[in-house]
Amino acid sequence: MGMDALNFWQMLSSQEPGICWLWLGARDPRGYGRVRWQGKARLAHRVAYELTHGQAADCVCHRCDTPPCCNPEHLFDGTRADNNRDMTAKGRHGAVVSPGYTLRGEEHQRAKLTQAIAERIRAVYVLGGVTQRALARKHGVSQRTVAKLLNRVSYVVDSEAEKVRLGISD
């Protein structure tokens, strides 16, 4: 059996206006409250929003940027695009260093390839006889990663100095 609305509100640190109402129950690794609600595992702040404002669209975003906060005054309804814009504008997106500058390629904290290896993959692929999937397997990445670097969506070298350093010619 799940939780009812009365028990839900009792799982908060406070209900005082103006401050964050922190979820006291289970939290996920990112700090967001988790609750079993109507037979499903749900985000606590989304349940708080829906109890006070009705059904939400795609995302329930935090004005306060505090993941366990469930204060309905601190929450707003939005799309995934709204959530990404909000996160980027507030500097909480891991790959965005500043407006207009996103970490790509080997600069990104989860990069598995160096720029030099990405260029070698491009060179081998151009010669033919090898699939994207085979290159991906060889280098421990997904086929999509290889496709993105071949299409210059990722692992793109912008500056001439960087191209010289890597020995890349256009």
- Topology (CATH level 3) of domain 5-102: Homing Intron 3 (I-Ppo) Encoded Endonuclease; Chain A (3.90.75)
* pLDDT attached to residue 143: 94
CA 23 to chain CA centroid, Å, is 22
Coil, strand or helix: which one is 94? coil
pLDDT tier at 161 (50, 70, 90 boundaries)? Answer: very low
Same fold, 5-102 and 105-166: no
Q: Rounded to whole angstroms, how far apart are CA atoms 113 and 146?
A: 10
**And the tokens for 79?**
């799309």
Cβ–Cβ under 8 Å, residues 63 and 76: yes
What is the pLDDT at residue 96? Answer: 47
Domain boundaries, the chain: 5-102, 105-166
On whether the pTM is more than 0.85, the answer is no
59: three-class secondary structure by DSSP: strand
pLDDT of residue 94: 54
Joined tokens for residue 69: 């906060």
Mean pLDDT of the chain: 82
**Arch. (CATH architecture) of 105-166:** Orthogonal Bundle (1.10)
3-state secondary structure of 13: coil
pLDDT at 29: 86
What per-residue confidence (pLDDT) applies to 97?
Answer: 46
pLDDT tens-place string over residues 33-68: 999 988 899 999 999 999 999 887 788 989 888 999
Question: What percent of the chain clears pLDDT 70, i.e. is strictly above it?
Answer: 79
- Let me know if 152 is exposed, middle or buried by CB neighbors in 10 A (0-12, 13-18, 19+): exposed
Q: What is the pLDDT of residue 86?
A: 81
Segment 92-139, tens digit of pLDDT:
655 544 455 555 566 666 778 888 898 899 999 999 999 999 999 999
CB 48 within 8 Å of CB 73: no
Write the DSSP symbol of residue 73: G
User: 168 Cβ partners below 8 Å, 6+ apart?
Assistant: 119, 157
